[in-house]
Structure 1
Amino acid sequence: MSKLPVLPGALIPKNEKLNFIWNADLVFYDGPLVSLFKKDDDDFIFFWVDADSRHNRWVVTPVGRADLAQYLEKTLSLRSIIDRAELLLVFEATKQAQRKNARTIVPSKLLQEYLPDQDSFLYDNIATDAALQLASADVGKYRIGLDGELYIDDIAAVPRVYQQLYSFHYGLGNLDRAAVRSALNRFLTSWKGGINAVNMFTGLRGVTPSIHRARVLELHYASPGHIELELLKEFAADIARTCQQIVPAASYGKSEKLYSDIYVYFRKEQLSGFDSDGGSASQRLTSMQRKALSKFVDQYFEIVNWAHYKDEFQGLGLDPLTQLRMLLAYYRRLRVLRRYSVEGKISLV
């Protein structure tokens, strides 16, 4: 039985799961003290407040996009974030990481000794490397130009495909964050059809804090028009550069031939199917197959001019078949943007 002080609040039913996804530890001293989590599309800050011999007590506060940015930039304290919350969540975590006795509580009912100081800013001397990285990312505005004859499904398709490519670049660009690397490895460990590709692109949002997601600021269409986004500008530039690599007809011809050659090889080597419950095709690759598939990977990187991504990509530790599946899934989405660009319906500026 827990020896921690009893707190008021409404207990959450035991069968209700606390499906928070760890994103990054922000303050760490002999263990995490302040961490960033996500649930659905919302951000939450977990902060440690108490412990007994068997449990650690945590308080969870929601945090909006603007407040999270200010906290990371050291202009808003953790205490201010808590004071702005309507409800907090409190639970005890066992040594086996089980969450127990979860309850909601209003901030005014939290024990005084559990409240952070008014000066609880995320100063550099206590911030983790992950916190400093999140804070230093270059977030800015970016416009996708719109023109020509567009239909409502076009207006839906362009942002969807763009978001998926953005997630891919975000994943590769943040592999040094354990949560991102873990998410990518989870999606790619066993490739069971199209669901893996969807998860790889859209599932990364679970470890992408709101301050780094591509947020629509304005959508205007009057031929010409635009979609104005707020996002990480380096990844927007990477998408634009990669798309431009295959816009010229000659370059596109090379990329399409490579795409076709890969699937011819898959069929020849009986690698065209996805993994099944009977085992992973990646684990049965011969040395000759690995060599041939690795050559395809190198050719792909050359066509899209991704020399700057080579180390990050190899850092995933994936076998060449999984690498190709990942790259081909990206390419299928990239050529959608290419088609809109060639037809003059979008411009990546």
Structure 2
Amino acid sequence: MFADYILLLFAPTPRRAKGIFNVLRGRRTVSTLFAGLTYGCLDQLDSWHGVPLETFLATTTKLVTAGDLTSPEAGYYQLTAQGMVHQRALKKERYQPVASVTFQTVAVRRFAALSQLALQVVSEAAHHENRYYPVTTDPGVQATVKAWFRRYRGPELAPTIFAALKAFLTTLPDELARIFVQSLTGYQFPGQTDAQLAAQFNREPVELLVIRRDLTCRWIVWLQHHPQDPLWALLAPLVKASPVSDSAQQTLQEFLRGGDLAAIAQRRKLKLSTVREHLLEVAILTPEFPFDQLLSPALITQLTTVFADQPDLTSWRFDQVQRVAPQLDFFYFRLFQIMRCQHD
């Protein structure tokens, strides 16, 4: 059930439901990224892109009704004692994705569509079949795969693809390998639906959706280590070197060259607040961020003292800082929180 996977995202302390939803949808505002970091679900950024907010909120309401969640204040939810027991059981019963972080740097859904069609085309061509229904009617996907096939077609393409698939499948547990293969469409074999696979493997249809999505991510990771494979040509244009936005990367490079934040803002014709948001984005998405270039030892000591009795940093409030450092900008408070998340 979808509700099972939503329950796994909550904790005994309150979490903002809209923040979790925005992480799953793939919003990349600093507030969303920070929520993902502090809630421990940043690796799932953009992994449930198609889920409507209404469905997500209705699911949290059902979990409250079921006694698994409680809402201490509007928009926030936390696990009940029953919910904690249920969550522990679900972690053992439901499939847990291992490669969702791939969504941060790869257009996973696009590659899933391209690779499904490419494998079908190769399979049909290997059997000299020219008349078949393609797995997708998306004209962009069809055009990309058509160009790819023209480039690579030849007697060695099918054996090469088959060998690569076989090599990838050997890295998977038997059940996952079978699910991967049986979801593919090829010559005289229509790929099985999530419902069909769920019945066969005694799992929930939503769980099969999660499994297949994670298998695509795992396959992407495998291909990234095997760029000589023909399918890499379909994947490569969809891969970013970093999860950080291009504009934030540019701000970071100027900062690393010793640029003053106000000067960077002036040169790039940006607001100072935007430059600061860029650096917060980088700090959240890259643990090796040079925090010491912005947070002095004295400031770190001061903020550590303020929150010494609050191990849960999601409970920290900026007004606590303002009482002892009224001139401190919120940017430095947030950066300190991020540093503690990254290194504690």
TM range (shorter): under 0.3
The two structures have a TM-score, normalised by structure 2, of 0.23
Higher fraction of strand: 1
Higher fraction of helix: 2
